Amino acid sequence: MNGINIESTDLNLLKVFEALYEEGGASRAALRLGLTQSAVSAALGRLRTLYVDPLFVRTGRGLAPTLRANELKPLICEALNKCRQSLALVSSQSGGYQGRSVAIGLSDDFEIALGPRLIEAVAQRTPGLRLVFRQTHSRIVAEMLMAREFDLGVTAGGFSSRSLSREALGEGRYACLVESDSLPAGQVNLSVAEFVRRGHLLVSSGGFVGVVDEVLAAMGLQRQVLASTTHFAALPFLLQGSDAVATLPLHAARALAARTGLRLLPCPLDMPRYPIELGWRMDTLRDPAIKEVKAVVGGLLAEYKWQ
């Protein structure tokens, strides 16, 4: 390793490393890079020699990174992003975003509510740029941003690191969804008693306790959770044909009710409000493509009627 220097190293190998890490397989990495699979395999062999490590090991689901690959990933991606930023200074002057991508970390409630409008707005403002949505939530968004797993984050807070910038753009509240057939046609509200009587579907990254349980506990009440899931998008299927109720952010509840047969109802509990925040790394906005997408995201969040 002492004899290796940057002058004798093919820096294109770093692009292959990034593609292998993010795509999880040689065939998909080859498609992404416009190379043959054999060329990617040969590049992987050279990377293994360069870093004296297997880097990726074959599993039943593709290639999994080794510990050394996990250590290298943020360093290599940061170096490549710096190169992209320098090229973007030229390409953005001619309006060229073809082949560029910007990754946004968000939970699927925001993706459901804002995703279609965001795709349309970005396509109009930065033609040719691809959006990448990646799942996150407030407990892990700062860590994922710092690890450069995405460029911008949209969550209910969580941007507490000194190395991150954040902007509060709204305040969210909760609503309920039920199967339409589980309510009389004219009923537009749930009483607290009926809310507690019904079974509940919980959407939670942990799967056991949610904010509803905390509010009910303060009232001396408790509910029966029939099942939990990590994704709001599953609710139309899980609520179908049942008497259960789901409590979720109003923006996601509106979007799901508009596209399914579910009934949107106000939550009968005095639920706490929560911040809607956009966060980013301090060096991110040097990239004109990310700066443009941030402006679109920030504009949509600021204009959205959260109440």
Tens of each residue's pLDDT in the chain, 307 residues: 455 667 778 888 999 998 999 889 999 899 888 899 999 999 999 999 999 999 999 988 889 999 999 999 888 887 887 787 677 666 555 556 877 889 999 999 999 999 999 999 999 999 989 999 999 999 999 999 988 889 999 999 999 888 899 999 999 999 999 999 888 878 889 999 999 999 999 999 887 889 999 999 999 999 999 999 999 999 999 999 999 999 999 999 999 999 998 999 999 999 999 999 999 998 888 788 889 999 999 999 988 888 7
Per-residue DSSP letter, 53: S
Query: What tokens appear for 135 in the block?
Result: 């799942």
- Structural tokens at position 82: 């710096």
CATH code linked to domain 6-79: 1.10.10.10
**Domain ranges, ordered by start, for the chain:** 6-79, 102-169+275-303, 174-272
Are 102-169+275-303 and 174-272 equal in CATH topology? Answer: yes
Other C-beta atoms within 10 Å of 68: how many? 14
Q: Does domain 102-169+275-303 have CATH number 3.40.1690.10?
A: no
* DSSP string of 37-50, one letter each residue: HHHHHHHHHHHHHH
Choose the CATH number for 174-272 among 3.40.50.1970, 3.40.1190.20, 3.40.190.10, 6.10.140.120. Answer: 3.40.190.10
Contact call for residues 246 and 177 (beta carbons, < 8 A): yes
Enumerate the H helices of the chain as residue ranges.
Answer: 12-23, 26-33, 37-51, 67-91, 108-125, 141-146, 192-197, 211-218, 235-239, 250-259, 288-303
Side by side, the strands of the sheet bearing 262-266 are 224-229, 199-203, 245-249, 174-179, 262-266
